[in-house]
Every structure is written in structure tokens, then in C-alpha cells.
Amino acid sequence: MRKLQALTKLLTPGIGVKRWLILMMIGVLLVATSLSYGMLAVIGIHLFPELHPFSEILLTVGIVLLGFDCMGVGLLRISRTLLAPYRRSREGRIIDVVYAHNRRQKGLKVVAIGGGTGLPSVLRGMKQFTSNITAIVTVADDGGSSGRLRRELGVLPPGDLRNNIAALADDESLMTHLFQYRFSNGDLGGHAFGNLFITALAGVTGSIESALIETERVLNIQGRVLPATLDDVNLVADVRLDNATRTITIQGESGITNAGGQIEHIRLQPTDVRPYSESVQAILDADLIVIGPGSLFTSILPNLLVKGIAEALRATSGHIIYVCNVAMQPGETEGFSVAEHVMALERHIGRGVFNLILANNAYPRENAGTNTHYVLPAPDHHEITQRYELRYTDLTDENRPWRHDPQKLVQAILKLGEEERLGNRVHSALTEI
């Protein structure tokens, strides 16, 4: 009964299906008739004996081509009609959209770990090449809109989740702009619409996991965004203030960067938070894992300090790249070169977590302003050069040179990933000899 109702709806006048279906049926009839005529002629039965054999061949071929043309036009038109409601956010020809979709579906399995404004740079560039992207983000934020929702409603802070979901969505989509819209006054002043949306959806669906799945479906994103942990977690830092002989302990992410000193050590509270199982599995299954870019102490390390995340990175067979920031960050990495970034990571999670370091070596002054201080390369004989492969290239954004250009960054990452795969194949071949 339901199938009959569905067929009745499909054949409703004005939908634009019947005419093209009839054209396809005419095409099938023409092809079948001409092929039957040709087969009869081959066995010596001529329905039109007055026709010259060559004319019979031309007539048969012509009708076959006409039939296939009718079938092709009908199929194309029906496809456009049926797919139109599902491709409003995808501009261009159907074949181009389908080709791009299938190419991304077959792309590398990529995991990107971080948070803040750095990680979306990787996602914006990477989503053009693969849909198999998993962003793993920190949930230790306690400031701004996320902090307010966390304190008032007891939810995981949605800010970093929102930023990265938006980065994986269609940038031209009105829904994406709406998701990033921030109220300027009233009781909602300072809140991003996306934060409210995720929080409300978590209440409706009963969990943040379900809320993320539904949010990703609404925005039709290329990939998925996962928290490092589902536990309620806070950051605690030991900070040495200027000219101070001792360190002070600061609790809460928002207070750490505002302290104005040098972060010496950072940890999670509680220390035994459990990793989100889907995040761990994504790392284990990945072909390529990108750590960073992002705030070293408040975006990257909060993910890696979750027990189980660093262990999964050591266990995975995927190639792991650490992307160093382009510029120093006030309150976190002032005076840091690439070497200091890596040494800070090693102090917190040990050695052997990543294989390669990708860093910037361009320092443009145009559009940089007076507050941009670039992260400089590691000294030639620094100890990290003995433990890691370092690659330098221009990664700066032309208009905001203190940030990574998504296209430059992803092209560099994919090139390194391809070199790794080629190297593994050569190594395997040499081993077999």
C-alpha cells in the first residue's frame, strides 16, 4: 500500500517525472525495435525488402542512437528532478558534485587534534580532499559563552566543537553563518547561536554524542567532530610570573592565559579522566594524524593529557605530524622557537608521540601589524633535530600572516603524507629483496 502511495505521489502532475519517464520508455522501445529489426535482417528476414542493405544498416543504427539519446535525456532529467531537494547547498553540475563526493569518500582517513582557531585551518583545507576527517577537540574551556553554559547548565563547553563543525560545513551555507552568529546584547549577549543550538540539542537528544551527530547532519559536514573526553575536566597550570622566584597555581583555562607569566606545567583536574572511545578508535584507524596548530597549552595539550589519547597515538600505524604555530602566543608561548614548542610537548607527554614536525619559515611584515612575533626555527644543533624530522615551508595567510593559510597548510601535509607512503613502499620492497 505504501509503495502504491509513493508511486502515486511520484506521478503527480507538475512534479516533472512522468514526461521524462515516458521519453525513457520511448527510447527503450526504439532501441528494442531497431535491434529486433537488425537481428531479423541478419537471419534473412527483411521487413522492407525494397530497402538497400546499406540503408537498412543506417536506419537501424540511427534508430538505436535516437533511442539511447531519448533514454539518456530522460534519465538525466529525472535525476535532476529527484536530486534537486538534496543539492541546494551544492552548486554545479550533478556529475561534478557526484565526482567530488565520491573522491572525498575514498580519501585518506585523517584525524586532526587541537582546538581554538588553529585546528579549523586544517579542516577547511582538508575537507576538499577527503570526507574521512575526524576532529578531536578539547572540552576544558571555561570562558566566554562556553564557560557560561558550562557553569549554568552543566554541559560540556560547546565552543571548540562548534568552531570545528562550522569549519567542516559548507562555508557558503547560510546555516553555517547562522551557527557562528554571536548575540551582541541582552541576556544572550556574548552567546554564539551554535553553542545554544548544541546545548539545546543535547537536552533534547539526551547526550552530547547524539547532539553532535544531529548537528553534523543538519550542517551536512564533511567528516565528524568528537570531544577528547566526555568527563567534566578543568585545566590547572603552574605559572611563573615576571621576576617571580616561585610559581603560582591557576585553575581554569581562561585565567591561565590572562596571568601574564610563563606556563611551566599544565595538568588536567581530575587527572584520571577517561578518553572518549570513538576518539581513540579514530586515532587507531587513521592513515594520517595532524596535531595542531593551536594554542600549545590550552588547546593541544588538554587533548593529549587525557589518558588513552597519547597511548593511542603511540599504538597507531598512521603517520603523525605536529604542526607548529606560525606566531608566538601572548600568555602561552612568548619567546618560543619551534624547539621550545616540541620540548614543552615532551615534558608533558614524553617522547615518541609524533614522527615529523611541520613549521613555517616565512615572516612577512605586510599586514602583520606590530604585535606579531613569528615562531623561529629550531637551532641547527638542537637536540630535537636528532629525534625528529623537521620540515619548513611558507604556511602564512596573506591577509593574516600570524595564522596558517588553509590551502598552503593542507598541501604541505598531504605532500608529507604521500612521501611517507612512498617511503614505506620502498622500505617494504627493500625488505623483501
Whether residue 399 sits in one domain with residue 358:
yes
> Residue 7 — pLDDT band, cuts 50, 70, 90?
low
CB atoms within 10 A of CB 316: 18
pLDDT tens-digit readout, 151-192 = 888 889 999 999 999 999 876 577 788 888 999 888 888 899
pLDDT tens-digit readout, 43-97 = 767 666 666 666 767 777 888 888 888 888 888 877 777 666 555 445 555 555 5
* Coil, strand or helix at 325: coil
Whether residue 58 sits in one domain with residue 135:
no
Predicted TM-score (pTM) of the model is: 0.77
Type of residue found at 322: Y
Domain that holds residue 367: 101-432
Length of the chain: 433
Whether residue 367 sits in one domain with residue 279:
yes
pLDDT at res. 288: 95
> Residue 427 — pLDDT band, cuts 50, 70, 90?
very low
C-alpha cell belonging to residue 414:
598531504
Q: Quote the number of domains for the chain.
A: 2
The H or E element containing residue 165 is helix 159-168
pLDDT tens-digit readout, 379-405 = 989 999 999 999 999 999 999 999 999
Whether residue 332 sits in one domain with residue 266:
yes
With 0-12 / 13-18 / 19 or more C-beta atoms within 10 angstroms meaning exposed / middle / buried, residue 182 is middle
Q: Which range among 28-32, 100-104, 159-163, 384-388 shows the weakest confidence by mean pLDDT?
A: 100-104
Alpha carbons within 13 angstroms on the beta-carbon side of residue 372 total: 19
- Tell whether 96 is covered by a domain: no
Whether residue 132 sits in one domain with residue 7:
no
The residue out of 54, 86, 118 marking a domain boundary is 86
With 0-12 / 13-18 / 19 or more C-beta atoms within 10 angstroms meaning exposed / middle / buried, residue 120 is buried
360 DSSP β-pair partners: 393
Whether residue 230 sits in one domain with residue 298:
yes
Whether residue 218 sits in one domain with residue 152:
yes
Degrees, nearest 5: CA angle 340-345-346:
95
Whether residue 171 sits in one domain with residue 31:
no
Distance CA 222, CA 327 (A): 29
Q: Across all residues in the chain, what is the average pLDDT?
A: 84
Whether residue 57 sits in one domain with residue 196:
no
Q: Give 139-142's long-range contacts (Cβ < 8 A, gap of 24+).
A: 139/227, 139/228, 139/229, 139/230, 139/233, 140/233, 140/234, 140/235, 140/253, 140/268, 140/298, 140/302, 141/115, 141/253, 141/254, 142/234, 142/235, 142/252, 142/253, 142/254
Distance CA 291, CA 302 (A): 12
- Tell whether 95 is covered by a domain: no
Question: CATH number, domain at 276?
Answer: 3.40.50.10680
The phi and psi torsions of 373 (rounded to 5 degrees) equal: -125, 115
C-alpha cell belonging to residue 289:
594524524
- Tell whether 190 is covered by a domain: yes
Q: Are strands 262-269 and 110-114 parallel, antiparallel or unpaired?
A: unpaired
C-alpha cell belonging to residue 199:
546545548
Q: Which range among 9-23, 172-186, 267-281 shows the weakest confidence by mean pLDDT?
A: 9-23
Whether residue 393 sits in one domain with residue 290:
yes
Cis peptide before 270 (omega within 30 of 0): yes
The residue out of 51, 86, 121 marking a domain boundary is 86
Which of 319, 268, 339 is closest to 297 using CA atoms?
A: 268
Mean pLDDT, rounded, for 7-24 = 69
User: Positive or negative CA dihedral for 6, 12, 17, 18?
Assistant: positive
Whether residue 230 sits in one domain with residue 159:
yes
pLDDT tens-digit readout, 324-364 = 999 999 889 999 999 999 999 999 999 989 989 999 999 99
The residue out of 32, 52, 86 marking a domain boundary is 86
C-alpha cell belonging to residue 56:
537498412
Whether residue 74 sits in one domain with residue 141:
no
> Residue 377 — pLDDT band, cuts 50, 70, 90?
very high
Helices (H), 84-206: 94-105, 119-126, 144-153, 159-168, 174-180, 193-205
- Tell whether 153 is covered by a domain: yes
Q: Which range among 60-74, 113-127, 142-156 shows the weakest confidence by mean pLDDT?
A: 60-74
Distance CA 431, CA 142 (A): 51
Distance of CA 44 to the CA centre of its chain: 64
> Residue 421 — pLDDT band, cuts 50, 70, 90?
low
pLDDT at res. 5: 60
Which of 142, 81, 125 is closest to 269 using CA atoms?
A: 142
64 DSSP β-pair partners: none
With 0-12 / 13-18 / 19 or more C-beta atoms within 10 angstroms meaning exposed / middle / buried, residue 291 is buried
- Tell whether 155 is covered by a domain: yes
